[in-house]
Structure 1
C-alpha cells in the first residue's frame, strides 16, 4: 500500500496569509470609516477649521502681502493650508487607536488570528482614505485661490496628499503606541501640532526665515510635505528639488512603519 503525502508549497501558504492580512486591514479600515460617517459633527468641525485658515491666511493676508515672487499670496499658501488639514487628521488618527485600547476594543481585535500590525495599518488606510477625499475637494477649489490647475497637477497633488496623509497617520499611530494614556496622548498631540504646522513653511516663505529657524524647519517632516505639495500645485516655489522631498517623505514613512511594527508587536 502506497501512502502519498501532500505537501503544501510555502508560497501558497504565504499568499493565503497575505490575503487574510489584507482582508483584516480592509475590515478595520471599513469600521473606522463607518465610525467617521456616523460622526458628521467631527467632519463639520474639520471643514470649519480649514475654512478659517483659508479666510485668515489666503484671503485676509493676500491684500497685505500681495505676492511671493510671481505667485499671489493666496495661491502660495493654499497648498500649505491643505497640508495643515491633512497632517492634523493624520496625526489625530492615533487617538482612535488609544480609545480602542482604553475601552477594550483593541484587546478583542487582537484575539483574531491575524498579524497584530494589521490593526494600526487598517487605521492608516482609513485615515489616508479620508484625507485623500477631503484634499480632492479642496484641490478642486484651488482655482478660486488663483492656482492654475491642470489635469496632471490635479492627479499629482492627490497622490502627494495621499502620501502625506499616510506618513502622518503612521506617525500618529507610533505616538499612540508610545504614549499609553488617552489624556496624555491628547495633550502631547496638541503640544506637537503647532510647531509641526507653523514651522513647515505652510503659511510663510521659509526662504526668508532666519538661518537658525531654517535649520529647525528642515528637521520638521511636514516641511517636505508642504514643499512637495507647493511644487506640485504651483510648479515653483520649492525649497529643494521635488525628488528630495519625495525621498525624505519615503524615508520617514519607512522608519515610522518599522517603529510601528516593533511597537505593535508588544
Structure 2
C-alpha cells in the first residue's frame, strides 16, 4: 500500500534542502532579530562606533582641528582687541568666543564627512551598500558620528572659556553645549550632502575649503553685524551658520556686563527688516536645515551606485 501524502508544513513532514518555505513558517515579523528596524538600528550603532574609533585613533587630526580655532581666538582676537579698544573697550576674544566654537565644529563636522569618500575609494562603502540594511541607516550613523566628534571638539573650546573672559556658569555652558550639538548635526549633514556623490577625496577637500571660510566670515563670528553694506548684510542673513553663532553670542552676553560704548555695535544680532530674530526661531532654522540636508544626503545615496 502507498503511504498517504503529508502536506508540506505539517508536523512530521520533511522538506527537501533548498525547497521553499511555506508562508508564515519563518520568524514572525517584528519579533525576530532580523526585523528591518532592528537591523537598521544595529547598523547605525556600528557605523557610529566605527566613526568614533577612527577619530580617537587619529591623534594628528584631533590636534590639527583645534589649531586654527585657537589661532583665531588668541592671536586674531588679541590683535583686534587693540584696534577696537578706543571704541568701547570690548574684548574681541570674548566677542569671537562663540564664533570660534562654531569654527571648531565647522571644520570637524565637514571633514568627518570625508570618511564616506574614503570608504567609497577603498570599496568599503560598496560592502555596506549591499548589506541588508536601508541606506538611510548608513547616512544616519555617519552623521551621528560626525556630530559627536564635532561636539567634542567644541567642548574642548568651551573648556577654555575663562581665557576668553567668559564665565564658567553651568547654565551658560549647558546652553552653549546644546547649541554646539545642534550646529554640529547641521554641519555634518551638509558635509554628507557633498560627500555621498564624490568619487575622489581631493574633490571633496577642494569643495569643503571653498565653502568653509566664506561661511565662517559671513556668520558674524569675526566682525559685528551692525552697519554692514547691503550686499554683505544679505549674505550674512542667508548664511545658515549665522543663525547658530548669534544664539551662542547672545547667551554669552546674557552673563556679561557689556561696555556701554560697544553695546549697540557688538550686541546687535540678526534682524529682518528691523525686527530682531528670536533665539528659538534661529535655532529652529538650524534644526530644519540640518534635517533637510540629512534627507537630501539619504536621497543622494539611494540614487548612487
* CA–CA distance in structure 1, aligned partners of residues 215 and 165 of structure 2: 26
Q: Which moved more, 1:158-167 or 1:220-229?
A: 220-229
Number of residue pairs aligned between Structure 1 and Structure 2: 265
Q: CA deviation at 1:234?
A: 2.5
Show CA shifts across 1:74-95 (max 9, x none). Answer: 1111110110110111122221
* CA–CA distance in structure 2, aligned partners of residues 227 and 68 of structure 1: 21
TM-score after normalising by structure 1? 0.90
TM-score after normalising by structure 2? 0.79
Corresponding residue SS for 2:41? helix
Q: Does structure 2 retain, via aligned residues, the 8 Å contact 1:231–1:237?
A: no
Q: Does structure 2 retain, via aligned residues, the 8 Å contact 1:57–1:77?
A: no
Cross-structure match for 1:173: 192
Q: CA deviation at 1:7?
A: 11
Show CA shifts across 1:216-261 (max 9, x none). Answer: 1111111111112212233265323101211211221121122112
User: Structure 1 stretches of 5 or more lacking a match?
Assistant: none
* CA–CA distance in structure 2, aligned partners of residues 76 and 120 of structure 1: 35
Show CA shifts across 1:191-233 (max 9, x none). Answer: 1112111111111111232121010111111111111221223
- Aligned pair partner of 2:109 in 90, 93, 104: 90
In the superposition, relative to structure 1, how do residues 260 and 244 fare at CA in structure 2: closer, same or farther (>3 Å)? same
- Aligned pair partner of 1:138 in 147, 151, 157: 157
Q: Does structure 2 retain, via aligned residues, the 8 Å contact 1:66–1:73?
A: no
* CA–CA distance in structure 1, aligned partners of residues 115 and 105 of structure 2: 16
Corresponding residue SS for 2:130? coil
| Map 1:229-248 → 2, pairs under 5 A | 229-235=248-254, 237-239=268-270, 240-248=277-285
- Aligned pair partner of 2:78 in 50, 53, 59: 59
Cross-structure match for 1:106: 125
User: Structure 2 stretches of 5 or more lacking a match?
Assistant: 1-9, 11-23, 255-266, 271-276
Higher helix share: 1
CA RMSD of aligned residues (A): 2.6
Q: CA deviation at 1:31?
A: 0.9
> Is structure 2 residue 48 aligned with structure 1 residue 24?
no
